[in-house]
Structure 1
């Protein structure tokens, strides 16, 4: 990267961020653009493929405004992952909505495949769950026969370069990949009824992946040399051993290496590196939900929790069921421990604690951790980081850089091999086993709502 810059595009659930990174790995410019999210029915989460593309172009144009374009040598891309996109084979126009990774409309279809759950898990490394792309892709193809499909990285690569391709790490989140072989599985395609002709070609995470066409505006002519899923990119950016937790709309808990048992997933981190991962559906979105309910901002909710105790209140944010380590689509959102003395501050504290409890559940299922490497928007909350260290019983190291996914994509795209990050450290206090037992009881209640036990 000597003497040159890499542009990294991080296409997330609620916004697209762009950063320009120099040869030392430092961010010299950044910009962002929002992406609308729609909830047309309970459990349905949709976006628009054209709006996602427009946000990429707007953020890139803002980031590059007035900058010497000739100094930019490569583009790296990180994206939201399991969201499913469909477009017309002939025109290249979107043929339906983008089904977001949180979308639950395919729950009944997944239930109809329970007899194949063991095979699906063995081949793909993923539990049968509506979060993953396969059932969503089937839903879209049922309504647009003959169309082509992919994940968000596939759509952006097609829209920007004209090539129908998917990066192997993103492919591993579709539930159609043989995770150990790195190829589409004929058995999984048959189970989900998805023709191979509708799917993109699988590519490595780095290399000469495509050149941006005139449709890319200010990006036209630039080569894309790296593509990663957002969580994978954040893990790459940390660059040191440990369990990485990205605190975003949901949370991703990930470490390199294989995994035993069914509580967490086996996925492709990048290229041929495997990783264990547990996904949490609602983290930052829990605070956003409570803020909306109380008519406050998310920052105000965080401030309200600062000097409060949850006083035995637990908020289990199973708005669309629970993911790792429970994988229970029937779980319901629940607030337990309410008394006449419960006020907004107790709920605010319970919302933050729910994030840290869920992360600790996944880490426990992974066999524990020596430290947590933290990133993502919600990690900026010092109180949450202290709660996390206390509940997990291990130090938390929070990256000071705010755009780890973008940085990871930039480092890989530019071939950077020597970088370091600055961290804020949070040491654990005495662990309170009773707090964890009370949380587990609240989760049990959320998973058995008809019994109310």
Structure 2
């Protein structure tokens, strides 16, 4: 073991962070910077890729200084918001267009055309993914079709997800994508190791513009010495949800975690078995290291933490996210108020990008506490839908490990346990996405011999056991099902 640190770059949807870890799992320090969200049209969500880079770099510099210099960093691990697409110029290294964020719905018509042409069954069987604007391939094609600078770039065009963009900028031109992020593009077969020519042709994405696909732990170049006062090796890469699964030590088939961040993402480890869902869940690669390929079954909820942000910024019902727990506890129930939070359509298992959000059951007696509680309850309701789908696909949740910003709310953690009727475990440090990237970087740097050995970095957990009687649970779920089904049918 070394006395040097692991530096993690955790590039999320609303902020970017750099975190410094000791090899024993202690988080030493963190620097964070918010990212600007752009909504140029209804359903469109964009980021400034140049801002992502500069703010990530600046956060990293703070952590390198905190560590005592570049030579005090054993390795860098990177984890990132998945499916978000960047197009840039290989010669200048500058973005050619705003980054299209995973939540963006602008390719809804393009995806509908693929379904109408009969491609969805094939795509789900080949890639594990349903046809939806969520995934990267349709975003890449949209950029080529609609942004002249991208269309005219020719052999200068580079396409990639956020980890690919950051590695390019850190190294001065290495163009790679890790296998977990690549599995989310719809351009790689689940059992494949490289970009699939037929899938690239179907979406109209030029293979020459795509990065080389690499493992999740290994040697991925070094940072330019000028960035941090010395070169630092990059040794771990993973999409945020896969990294959170690793950080939660979901390393045995059947282990399941839910990350409650901007959205909510549930992954169940399926081992070496290729996942095939009959209930519109996603099959995805959990990680690839050497000859080992481990898969997961996934359910994606698009609106979770950003619902709280919406209550704060758009409705003005709260001043901070921390207020929500006290407000939820201040009333015995939601007073009949129900919320279907489809602010960016509905994700798994419904996959309805056309559905809008609904608040129902309002009366003159409804208060902001009732509305806030209904918003928090809507997370458990959506998780219940997913639990049913996972169980039907042969992957029932024996327990659920939660992490992410929303999981720090004790009321939410208990409500999930109550509504799912399973025990919920929360780590003392809920930043398991970054921890997973640190574990991968430590493995890639040779500090650990395996992920199981790296799992010693994980800390203690707090358990929430279900305490709700069946009758109130069933009543809440019945009301949710009525609202959900009525909205989906309209």
TM-score by length of 1: 0.96
Whole-angstrom CA distance in 2 between matches of 1:251 and 1:262: 18
1:371 corresponding residue in structure 2: 399
Whole-angstrom CA distance in 2 between matches of 1:360 and 1:316: 13
Output aligned runs, 1:78-93, within 5 Å. 78-93=79-94
Output aligned runs, 1:17-36, within 5 Å. 17-36=17-36
Is the aligned partner of 1:269 residue 2:280?
no
Output aligned runs, 1:45-84, within 5 Å. 45-69=45-69, 70-84=71-85
* Residue 349 of structure 2, aligned match among 322, 325, 328: 325
Q: Check the 8 A contact 1:330/1:447 in 2, yes or no.
A: no
Is the aligned partner of 1:193 residue 2:216?
no
Q: Check the 8 A contact 1:332/1:447 in 2, yes or no.
A: no
Output aligned runs, 1:201-350, within 5 Å. 201-214=212-225, 217-218=227-228, 220-240=230-250, 241=252, 242-257=255-270, 258-271=275-288, 272-292=293-313, 293-297=315-319, 298-308=321-331, 309-350=333-374
Unmatched segments (≥5 aa) in structure 1: none
* Residue 166 of structure 1, aligned match among 160, 177, 181: 177
Give a deviation string over 1:222-254, Cα, whole Å, max 9, x none.
010010111111110111452100000101100
Whole-angstrom CA distance in 1 between matches of 2:277 and 2:123: 16
Q: Check the 8 A contact 1:15/1:55 in 2, yes or no.
A: no
Whole-angstrom CA distance in 2 between matches of 1:444 and 1:375: 29
Q: Check the 8 A contact 1:86/1:141 in 2, yes or no.
A: no
Distance 1:382 1:320, change over 3 A: same
1:323 counterpart SS class:
coil
* Residue 175 of structure 1, aligned match among 186, 196, 205: 186
Q: Check the 8 A contact 1:87/1:148 in 2, yes or no.
A: yes
Q: Check the 8 A contact 2:140/2:159 in 1, yes or no.
A: yes
2:426 corresponding residue in structure 1: 398
Deviation (angstroms), 1:220: 4.4
Unmatched segments (≥5 aa) in structure 2: none
Q: Check the 8 A contact 2:77/2:441 in 1, yes or no.
A: yes
Give a deviation string over 1:355-378, Cα, whole Å, max 9, x none.
111122112211131111000000
**Runs ≥4 in structure 1, deviation > 3 angstroms?**
none
Whole-angstrom CA distance in 2 between matches of 1:197 and 1:175: 16
Whole-angstrom CA distance in 2 between matches of 1:303 and 1:66: 36
2:15 corresponding residue in structure 1: 15
Deviation (angstroms), 1:155: 0.6
Whole-angstrom CA distance in 2 between matches of 1:338 and 1:278: 30
Segment drifting more, 287-296 vs 144-153? 287-296
Q: Check the 8 A contact 1:86/1:94 in 2, yes or no.
A: yes
Pairwise CA RMSD: 1.4
Deviation (angstroms), 1:295: 4.6
* Residue 125 of structure 1, aligned match among 128, 132, 138: 128
Give a deviation string over 1:241-299, Cα, whole Å, max 9, x none.
52100000101100111343142100011102111111100001111112220352222
